[in-house]
């Protein structure tokens, strides 16, 4: 099915839902659902080159063990689908933005890759990094069980996802060169939580057209 000629808006939702269904059928084959579920329209995107985006929920049984929820994302963007079991519509859109960010910039997860340190540099201290970040918002909070959950190479910078127990709550801390932040979504894999965080950060940036 050809991409609709006009961006998704309230007047052509049915056309874009048909396109979304065609995309799902292409990728899910015989396990595609007979129909899609609820949708939400996001009229703007913070990503250069992207625009109005339609997020549609659906269920499918890909493994034969029961239907699971998913989201399909279409519009003025690169179409994609995501596991939707633990996400609401806002989170699904943020996840899509974070995923697009990683794909466009070629962000890669780093595993056991040695760092090239300058003579005066010290090795990365994850516990110190976590403490410094937490001190910005809760200097008296306890921190324990600090570990590196994921590390990403972003154009030469290192974005760390740190798992820790802060004030007796399990959290992810976004550290090193990453946009600082916290996530309580430790029910999600660290790379997914990172993409959610990046997407949320992008959505908070001011729109240059309205600033």
Q: Is residue 8 part of a domain?
A: no
The Cα 62–Cα 200 span in angstroms is 29
Q: Specify the pLDDT at position 211.
A: 44
Q: Are 159 and 82 in the same domain?
A: no
Q: Are 59 and 78 in the same domain?
A: yes
Q: Are 75 and 117 in the same domain?
A: no
Q: Is residue 5 part of a domain?
A: no
Q: Is 158 helix (H, G, I), strand (E, B) or coil?
A: strand
Q: Are 96 and 148 in the same domain?
A: no
Domain, as residue range, for 31: 13-105
146 burial via Cβ count (<10 Å: 0-12, 13-18, 19+): middle
Q: Specify the pLDDT at position 114.
A: 57
Which DSSP symbol is given to 30?
A: G
Q: Which of 105, 133, 153 is the last residue before a domain boundary?
A: 105
pLDDT in tens, the chain (211 residues): 789 999 999 999 999 999 999 999 999 999 999 999 999 999 999 999 999 999 999 999 988 889 999 999 999 999 999 999 889 999 999 999 999 999 998 998 988 655 655 556 678 899 999 999 999 999 999 999 999 999 999 988 999 999 999 999 999 999 999 999 999 999 999 999 999 999 999 999 866 555 4
Q: How many domains does the chain have?
A: 2
Task: Tell me if 73 sits within 8 A of 92, measured CB to CB.
Answer: yes
């Amino acid at each position: 099915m050809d991409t609709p000629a006009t961006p998704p808006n309230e007047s052509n939702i049915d056309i874009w839902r048909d396109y979304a269904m065609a995309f799902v059928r292409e990728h899910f084959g015989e396990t595609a659902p007979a129909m899609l579920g609820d949708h939400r329209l996001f009229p703007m995107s913070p990503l250069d080159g992207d625009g109005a985006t339609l997020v549609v929920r659906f269920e499918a049984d890909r493994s034969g063990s029961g239907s699971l929820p998913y989201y399909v994302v279409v519009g003025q963007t690169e179409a994609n689908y995501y596991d939707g079991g633990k996400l609401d519509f806002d989170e699904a859109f943020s996840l899509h933005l974070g995923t697009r960010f990683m794909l466009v910039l070629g962000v890669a997860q780093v595993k056991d890759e040695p760092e090239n340190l300058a003579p005066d540099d010290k090795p990365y201290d994850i516990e110190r990094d976590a403490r410094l970040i937490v001190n910005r918002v809760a200097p008296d909070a306890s921190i324990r069980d600090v570990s590196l959950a994921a590390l990403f190479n972003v154009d030469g910078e290192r974005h760390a996802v740190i798992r820790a127990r802060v004030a007796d709550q399990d959290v992810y801390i976004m550290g090193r060169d990453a946009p600082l932040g916290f996530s309580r979504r430790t029910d999600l894999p660290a790379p997914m939580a990172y993409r959610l965080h990046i997407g949320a950060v992008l959505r908070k940036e001011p729109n240059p057209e309205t600033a």
